[in-house]
Chains A and B, each alone.
Chain A
Amino acid sequence: MQDNADAAVMNFPRRDARDKLLGRTKYTIDVGGSEVIHAVLLRAEVASAQVLRLDVEAARSMPGVRAIATWEDAPGAHGIGIADHPIFARDVIRYHGEPIAAIAADTLEQAHAAARAITLELAPLPAILTMAQALEKDAPLVHPDWKDYDILFEGAARGGNVAWEATVARGDTDAAFDRPDVTIIDGVYRVGRQSHVPFEPRAVVAAFEDGRHHIQTSTQVPWTVRHVTARVLNIPESQVRVTVPAVGGGFGLKFDCSLEPYAAILAKKSGRVVSLVNSRREEQMTCLCRENAEIRIRSAVTADGEIVGREATVLMDCGAYGGEQVFLTTMTAHTLGGNYRLGSVRLSSRAIYTNTPPNGAFRACNGVYNTFALERHTDEICDAIGMDRMEFRRRNVVGDQDIGATGQVFEGDVLRPMIDRMQALCAKHPNSRKNGQRLDDGRIYGRAMTVGTWFIFVGPSAATVNLNVDGSATLVTSGVEIGSGSMMHALPQIVAAGLGIAPEQVIVKTADTDAAGRDLGVGGGRTTVSIGAASAAACDEVRDKLLAVASEMLQTAPDQLVLADGRVEIRGRPGSGTTIQKVVAEAETRTGPISGSGAFTAPGIEAMPGCAAGHFIDAIDIPVFAVHDCELAIDPDTGQVEILAYRVVQDVGRALNHRAIHGQIQGGVVQGMGYALHEEITINEQGCFDQTGFEAYRLPLAQDVVPIEFDLFEGAPSCGPLGTKGAGEVPILNVGATIGCAIANATGKQVSQLPLTPPRVLALLDGRDEPLALDHISAVWSDNTLRR
């Protein structure tokens, strides 16, 4: 396997670049032409209301209209953990932007005109716009019928506006906090929503062909789209086919089914090919954001820095429907409990319903803000007990055989040597600047180093490899290329190494649920690991079949044969063998064409029984660690923060394509800089987002960024193929934390919130910043649970 691993490492360039540079790539938004008709959604313009009357009759006879759909066409509800989400509002509107009807017409203008002709009568209902309101005693319920919903995953506590609650309890925290020798540190933190802003919005083109739905869509999860569409239409899943053209960015936004069922219904009703594309305004205003969150962490720490007890509560705003946040409650156990050794721990992670647009998954999800909260808290601990920040981390980060929050046992020392590597990286650029020092231009210098823990989302993947008579191989999986390049770099490299051919000779088919087996989708850093492992397993089968035939042809035992450079050779005798083409041709006369299939699923690491309740996974199969360092300067007159230098040491298992990982680190860190400094969706009294486009939602520009310096840490244990871990998701993990801690160090002030916009930084500097109070999260941990 070692030869294999080395053969897989290269800076293989991506094959889709040229067409993308020529404007020839067809994304879903580019599918069109005279045979395609256009759909729009009629969306609610209030946050909470009773629907008294919905009448689409007048709209039906508008010019060009081909089909109209409402709740009657989509009886089912979907969701993660709980089926709480119908795709059309029926009796109740629960958020601003919720779809009420879908209209397809010959032109977009006609569809909009018909939408305007729909009669909708509403009676206002009280709207819950914040989690504090949602948790008030006797608060109106966003879902009064929550008890009647189908439960899709058992074991969580639910109730009222608490959509889902996951708890962890290991050891006796009461005893720990009562110890006479501990200092108790109590901190609260808050973050806003972050919008993904993929350059291609969510978009779908649907047709109804031979009695089945064919959905072409801009998604990360073809099999989820197949499943959810079938569920809400109440049809067998086998009646839905999903194919995926090039995807113009995802970042987690496209990890959920969204527009697809509407287009599917309209295509069937109209008998036409229907295109449904979110306008930029719709895309922004219904973005399934990284959720706003509110966090309280309390720790009991001894004078020599041992964390004997920790209690934390994380409130995650799921918006009007549970969605990804239900699943993500699980991750708090690992992002607050998987970095540092904890003597005892209790965690409550809750998804809270509000009358706001639903949230979703975004690159490293709640890991990003939990890491911010935890690293700020860790620095507060250091200040309280008077210990050096790096010394504290060095002593406490998890290492080989340490246990995480849920009792899982970690393998290998990873974080501690990564801290050493970061110090070595920093030592290349020595400087004598001190936190809080004024630079020559009057700006204030700040610096911080943080650690973070995230995971690779594994789960089922399938792959088929067909070895072709010309010596090329076709890889068939449900992977999609969302821009990160896993389908262009890692997968052909893994297959090429497995078969001893050039990566150019590996054809990579993009997702078609009629052609490839089930897969959880592209996200969570899982493509290289899960699809890669399934592909490697498929190659093993191909290899066995190939070598069996070659063995007879060359009169040599299979274990004495090697595959390299498109040939089968007798070990140690280059040139002695024959070409793969000849073996394939021979195989066709004996048994037929050569193909192999492979599968992968989570190995299932164990947790300590009884620690975790309401979790989708109790332990993480592949932890991933990161250490970041940031130097910055604050302009005391404007509150502007400039990043002077940014460094990353990332645990990658094995780096298959250094250049591609560099691209992910640069891109991921810059998204994190936006999150830390200026990206935030705010919600007004109408329950609607203030940032409806690019003018109000500011993204990082070329002049805002610096080249990220990085060092890839290889060799940490991983069940990924060739020892890989996914490298695309994690670069964003501790950017908010590192910048937040650096600004706290620069100003000497308490930093409890992100983003750190210029007004917020100025308020900190001037001492005008009100200390954050989260009165709805009790200091008594059990008050923050339903199981109390």
Chain B
Amino acid sequence: MTITLTVNREERIFSGDPRTPLVDVLRDHLRMTGTKAVCREGFCGACMVHVDGAPMASCLLPVGSLDGAAVNTIEGVATREHLNAVQQAFEDHDVVQCGMCFPGMVMTMSRFFQTNTSPDRDEIKAAMTGNICRCTGYERIIDALMSIRTNEATP
């Protein structure tokens, strides 16, 4: 079976086992290793990608279900010269530690801020529940995200 999908606006063809999780197609076949497979159970959020615009855990998605889908990964959200607002806030507040959770965190929260322009702290925390971080203890990440909100709220 051949599956055609768009990854970061480029058409890609996959002709292996359709049960292969998307995360393995990205990492092993396309060698795009920014998406991390940490728990493979849908709990940690490190493997988050956007499928047709919606954040999803790529460890739980058999590639066979994605024929014709548009997938965006961490490699596709920004360039080194122009980070997106979430990435920029994380860099400015110097909140990154080991970094393994951040690709997933960026994918979840970038999408969240597209639809929530001025969330409060609790709403941000609720949005982050599906993204686990073992290093940081979260609060400084939330501080960084709160700064995006403030920036947008003050034109």
Contact = CB atoms under 8 A, between A and B. Distances in A.
Interface of A: 11, 13-14, 16-27, 29-30, 32-33, 196-200, 246-249, 251, 280, 482-485, 659-660, 662-663, 666-671, 693-695, 699-703, 705-708
A702 B128 contact: yes
Interface in B75-105: 75, 78, 80, 83, 87, 90-91, 94-103
Contacts of B95: 663
Nearest to B93: A659
Contact of B100 (A24, A27, A670, A693): A27
Contacts of B98: 198-200, 246-249, 482-483
B34 A23 contact: yes
Contacts of A22: 34, 74-75, 78, 80, 83, 87
A18 B90 CA distance: 9
12 contacts: A17-B99, A23-B73, A23-B103, A27-B100, A32-B31, A199-B44, A248-B98, A483-B98, A484-B97, A662-B140, A670-B137, A693-B43
B137 A705 contact: yes
A280 B40 contact: yes
A706 B139 contact: yes
A410 B129 CA distance: 45
Given A21-B102, A21-B106, A666 B83 contact: no
A17 B33 CA distance: 16
Contact of A659 (B39, B41, B94, B101): B94
B137 A667 contact: yes
A26 B91 CA distance: 18
B140 A666 contact: yes
Contacts of B83: 18, 21-22
A22, A251, A694 — which one has the most chain B CB atoms within 10 A of its CB?
A22
Nearest to B75: A23
B74 A23 contact: yes
A320 to B, nearest CB: 26
Interface residues of B, number: 51
B126 interface: yes
B139 A246 contact: no
Given A17-B90, A18-B80, A693-B40, 17 more contacts: A14-B94, A17-B99, A19-B80, A20-B99, A23-B103, A26-B33, A29-B33, A198-B134, A200-B100, A249-B100, A484-B135, A667-B136, A671-B134, A671-B137, A694-B39, A702-B131, A707-B143
Contact of B101 (A19, A25, A199, A671): A199
B39 A667 contact: no
Nearest to B34: A23
A16 B90 CA distance: 12
B96 A17 contact: yes
Contact of A24 (B34, B136, B141): B34
B148 interface: no
Contacts of A26: 33
A746 B140 CA distance: 29
A483 B99 contact: yes
Contacts of A703: 125-126, 129
A33, A247, A699, A708 — which one has the most chain B CB atoms within 10 A of its CB?
A699
Nearest to B106: A21
A666 B139 contact: yes
B126 to A, nearest CB: 7
A199 B94 contact: no
Contact of A702 (B27, B94, B129, B135): B129
Nearest to A707: B139
B28, B96, B103, B137 — which one has the most chain A CB atoms within 10 A of its CB?
B137
B94 A708 contact: no
Contacts of A667: 97, 135-137
B85 to A, nearest CB: 12
A672 to B, nearest CB: 10
Contact of B38 (A17, A18, A280, A660): A280
Q: Which 7 A-B pairs have the closest CB atoms?
A: A23-B34, A483-B98, A20-B99, A670-B137, A199-B100, A23-B74, A666-B137
B50 interface: no
B3 interface: no
A669 B139 CA distance: 11
B27, B83, B135, B141 — which one has the most chain A CB atoms within 10 A of its CB?
B135
B58 interface: no
Contacts of A32: 27-28, 31, 33
Given A280-B39, A670-B137, A699-B134, A21 B75 contact: no
Contacts of B74: 22-23
Contacts of B90: 17, 21
